[in-house]
Structures are given as C-alpha cells and as structure tokens.
Structure 1
Amino acid sequence: MGAHLDVSQLAALGVRIAGAGPAVQAGARTALTRTAYAIEGDAKVLCPVDTGNLMGSISTDVDGTTAEIGPTSDYGIYVELGTSRMAGQPFMAPAFERRVPEYVDALATIATAAF
C-alpha cells in the first residue's frame, strides 16, 4: 500500500525528542495526539458497517508518547485481516497508512526546529 514507515528511524527520533526540552516534547505529543485521532476518524469512515458495532468500538487511547487506536470489538481483527472463509476488509491499516506521512512530516519539522 502507500507509505513505508522505518520504525528504527522513528524510534531513534523518539529518543532524540525525549532528550529535548519540554517545548519539543509537547510538540511531539500534540503531533501524536492529532495523528491518532485522525487515524481513528479515517478508520471509522473506512470500516464496513453492518450493525455499526464495529465502527462504534473504534477508539483512541493516547498515553504520553504512545497511542493505541483500534476496535475493542473482538471480531475487528477478522474483519481487518479476513479468515479462511472471508476476505479481509481492511480499515485500520489504510487509515494508518494515510496518516503516517503527515506524522513523519510533523516530527521532522519539530526535530529540525529543535536540533
């Protein structure tokens, strides 16, 4: 699909940001929060809807420097990835891939300004 995220580079950038001042850390948290909620919104739009339960279970939890985004419904993974009897109907991965470039750009801007 679209974007490729090199997690090692992102992790290294995270370490640099963590060692930077409070203003840089606040900017990184803001970028993470905005991106996480944008991913949630996109996933809800892309989510296949039958009863609305799956879409309604998609939520975001931001805790400092990490974010967890996804459905709490136990069958969400089967819809996303498919099963031996049904093709997947991805909604989380495309939402993530759509927003990764914006997040990387935001972190690069923060890092450029700070370093």
Structure 2
Amino acid sequence: MASIFSKIVAGEIPAHIVAETTEFLAFLDVSPLTTGHVLVIPKKEIDYIFDMDEESYFGLTLFAKIVATGLKKAVPCIKVGVAVIGLEVPHVHIHLIPMNTVSDMNFSKPKLSPTQEELAETAAQIKAQL
C-alpha cells in the first residue's frame, strides 16, 4: 500500500510544495511544530533512511540543505533544525523545522493548525528564496 507521501508524489493528495527535483520533493507539514516546518522526501518510497543507496542518501541530504537555506531566509529563525524519526509514515522523510528555542523541536508538544491560505503564503515565501 502506498504511503501518504507516495500519494502526494503521485498528485493524489494536494500539498504545499516548496521545492522539487526528479528525485526529491519538499513540502510543508500540514500539522507543523512551527511555521515553515518542511518535510523533505525521496520520491521513491523507501521506509528507512539507512536503507537508501549512497547516491540517493547524499542527494536527499544535499536537497534538504538547499531547502533549509531558503527556509531560513523566508522564516525568521535562529537555525533550521533537522530531525529524522520515521515511525509515523513508512517513507523516508527529513523534518526541517525553523527554531528559535530547543523546544521548537519537541515533537510531543501540540502542533499548529494553519489554514490552507497560511500554508500557501508560507510556501510561496520559501519558494521565493530558493
């Protein structure tokens, strides 16, 4: 069964995409920890990040760095935090989270509930910086 992220890649589920290549996709988390919380994924469905071949792993990491650079310019923050957890969706994904405090990376805290309009505006701001 295809993961929710594979359905986003296939266009079956809409997403606020901020960057895309033939191999990778970056889009806003719809239940973010902070404004600008981005998920970076390979388009190929792989469950565990360390099961990726080296070329894809390094490509995903470089793509995430590029997205994080634009994200930091678009969303005021001290740093962009990086997390790879991988338990909630069986598809490799890197969380890029704008941070001003360590607690901004606390996945047990309540998530934000931005509107579709707010997500679209944030996505446009990030895209403009890439």
Q: TM-score range by the shorter chain?
A: 0.3 to 0.5
Larger radius of gyration: 1
**Bigger proportion of residues as strand:** 2
TM-score (norm 2): 0.37
TM-score (norm 1): 0.41
**Bigger proportion of residues as helix:** 1
